Amino acid sequence: MTGIFISFEGPDGAGKTTALNNLLPLLKSKTDQEIVLSREPGGSEIAEKIREIILTIHDEQMDARTEALLYAASRRQHLVDVILPAIEQNKIMLSDRFVDSSIAYQGAGRMIGTKEVAEINDFAIDGQLPDLTIYFDISPEIGLSRIKKDHQEQMDRLEQEKLPFHERVHEAYLELLKNNPERIKKIDATQSLDKVVADTLKVITDRFPSEFNLGG
Ligand SMILES: Nc1ncnc2c1ncn2[C@@H]1O[C@H](COP(=O)(O)OP(=O)(O)OP(=O)(O)O)[C@@H](O)[C@H]1O
Ligand SMILES: [Mg+2]
């Protein structure tokens, strides 16, 4: 029995959080291992405080590299406080977003460069990539329209960016998928929630058959 680390990625409104919540009981019924669900900054106090600085709307403009460094710093702390202990204790760690988000959002979205952002994140994660990444693929138009329907007033700073930003993010995710075919598996997130959850369950149980081997 070993710990497993799975990240969930994709554009805003792809349905990551919704699918994860629906997936959790299904995964639990198939394994004896404890499952930990987290989302960066994930209840790590320091990571949370760093994230707060990023998401607050300030009078002055936050520099794109400052933002990328803060995300990397927040990720590092969440990794150390939450993810690594879970893996160490042979748990199944599910993270709603991880390093690919920074490469897509800061690297491509903010145009700092995906290579540059990958480099500072290499320093932050120190080799600890997910064993598997589930990528929820959806066009920015559909993803954003799902979000707008929900909470029109309370979109955070990142979600307020213009459509081209989100198109660059989407392109970068597709590039990550192409370059990491072993680690990243694509799910068609435009499907019904039930189908998205079923497809995701199959990818995970196919990849880790000895961990998810219980009936139900
Ligand atoms: N398969 C689906 N079909 C239609 N609507 C969906 C589907 N999955 C989720 N939704 C709806 O889309 C909206 C956004 O979903 P959700 O918050 O899970 O996305 P997300 O990927 O976590 O977004 P973010 O990156 O902003 O956190 C919610 O209203 C949710 O109910
Ligand atoms: Mg979410």
Within a domain: 214 = no
Ligand nearest to the CA of 156: 1
Within a domain: 164 = yes
Token pair for 13: 């409104």
* Ligand 1, atom nearest to 159 Cα: 26
Interval 42-52: pLDDT, tens: 889 999 999 99
Within a domain: 145 = yes
Output the CA 173–ligand 2 centroid distance in Å: 16
Residue-averaged pLDDT of the chain: 93
Q: Which residues, 6+ apart, have CB-to-CB distance to 207 below 8 Å?
A: 131, 132, 185
Torsional sign, CA 103, 196, 40, 25: negative
In short, whether 15's Cβ falls inside 6 Å of ligand 1 is yes
In short, whether 146's Cβ falls inside 6 Å of ligand 1 is yes
| Helix (H) or strand (E) run with residue 64 in it | helix 64-78
Within a domain: 114 = yes
What CA–CA distance (Å, rounded) separates 74 from 43? Answer: 11
In short, whether 143's Cβ falls inside 6 Å of ligand 1 is no
Q: How many domains does the chain have?
A: 1
Interval 101-156: pLDDT, tens: 999 999 999 999 999 999 999 999 999 999 999 999 999 989 988 888 766 555 55
The whole domain housing 33 covers 4-207
Residues with CB in 5 Å of ion ligand 2: 16-17
How do 132-137 and 92-96 pair as beta strands? unpaired
| Helix (H) or strand (E) run with residue 63 in it | none
Please give the angle made by the CA atoms of 187, 192 and 197, to the nearest 5 degrees.
50
Interval 192-209: pLDDT, tens: 999 999 999 999 999 999
Within a domain: 212 = no
Full-model pTM? 0.94
CATH of the domain at 60: 3.40.50.300
C-beta of residue 139 within 8 angstroms of C-beta of residue 79: no
